[in-house]
Copies of this chain bind each other. A is one copy, B any other.
Amino acid sequence: MLADDLNSFPTVPRLSGSDLTRLEQLLANLRERTGTFLGYPVAKDFDCSALAPFLDLPLNNLGDPFAPSTYQVDSREFEREVVAFAARLLRAEEDSWWGYVGNGGSEGNLYGLYLARELFPQGMVYFSQGTHYSVSKNLHLLGMRHIMIRSQASGEIDYEDLRETLRVHRDVVPIMFANIGTTMTEGKDDIGRIRRIFQELAISRFYIHSDAALCGFIAPFLKPRPAFDFADGADSISISGHKFIGSPIPCGIVLARKRHVERIARSIAYIGNLDTTISGSRNGLTPLIMWLAIRQLGEEGFRARVARSLEVADYACTRLQQAGVAAWRNPNAITVVFPTPAETVCRRWQLASADGASHLVVLPNVSKGQIDCFVADLAAGGCR
């Protein structure tokens, strides 16, 4: 019997006409809505059409991408290439790193914090006010002690508050949750400076996780290069795949120092399994999506995307200011912040708002034309 015969399943009933119509309608609506958002940090210029045939297969990247598996309908080889590309970009020392493609930046953060907890069960997590709310959810899930530190107006952590808070907790190992691009203002914590604070306080044991959801593939191309990666002292880093890189499915890359992961692996070994991922059964399509982006763009392609985004972000900020809007952005940021405009404008452009501020995230797909269009609309609608 041939494999082909083995694949000849009983036919699945076809979708009814009305259902098909609903699906087509959804597609049309989504296309339209996709056109008009500027407020979410989600790139739209990806091309995954080459992956459509894979929708026929029961893909499953079971367990650790670097461990052998009996289940072979997977894309783990491509996943390893993706993770290796990111490891190089984030200056991990050769053979000293481990990672996988997960379901998004949030899972990557959960993973980093989980590693930190296994290493320092009594550790104290520090993170700034600008940190995404999902981090608090994760800390609650993991049952970790934590302290929220003040943010500066830029969204960057308030180093003085951090120093003073660390000072009164020098008996517990600090677990630093660093934002490499906060959600609202793209503020970046400087982990070099944070490590100098540790040094001043004679804190020799610590853990640093970089939440580089948005900026993981931006920061390596900036000048000056922000202090955020493995060479700068990070123990683990989380990057979103569906933000700056672009993906039809939320996904992310998480990287960590191998020796930390081996420590977890060992603690799981008693359970009789070496799976160090969080999910077990894992999406096999998203590694291909990431792989596609990496092969299509290469390091130079990403560099060009960053340059383009920065240029348009600068343009947007200037144009808004010219239009009388109190817009601003952090140095080298692609996020432009301004007072929340009228409700209608917010709805049309799907702007999120918090504490009276809204933002554009100028991803590589955003053109100056779109900015013009938005500024015109804003000028017409006025600020709230």
Contacts and interface: CB of A to CB of B under 8 A. Distances in A.
A165 B161 contact: no
A13 interface: yes
A52 interface: yes
Contacts of A106: 279-281
A279 B297 contact: no
Contacts of A124: 171
A245 to B, nearest CB: 11
B373 A73 contact: no
A330 interface: no
A167 B164 contact: yes
A165 B165 contact: no
A57 interface: yes
A129 B19 CA distance: 44
Indicate how many identical chains form the complex: 4
Interface string A65-77: 0000011111101
Contacts of A103: 103, 279, 281-283
Contacts of A137: 268, 271, 273, 275, 280
A224 interface: no
A292 interface: yes
A22 to B, nearest CB: 8
A315 interface: no
A326 interface: no
A231 interface: no
16 contacts: A3-B32, A4-B35, A7-B44, A9-B44, A10-B45, A10-B308, A12-B45, A26-B75, A30-B59, A103-B279, A103-B281, A150-B200, A168-B168, A168-B169, A204-B270, A249-B249
Interface of A: 1, 3-10, 12-16, 19-20, 23, 26-27, 30-37, 39-40, 42-60, 70-75, 77-78, 103-107, 114, 119, 121, 124, 128-129, 133-134, 136-137, 140-143, 145-151, 161, 164-165, 167-171, 200-205, 240, 242, 246-250, 259, 262-263, 266-273, 275, 278-285, 288, 292, 295-297, 301, 308, 346-347, 350-352, 364-365, 367, 369-370, 373
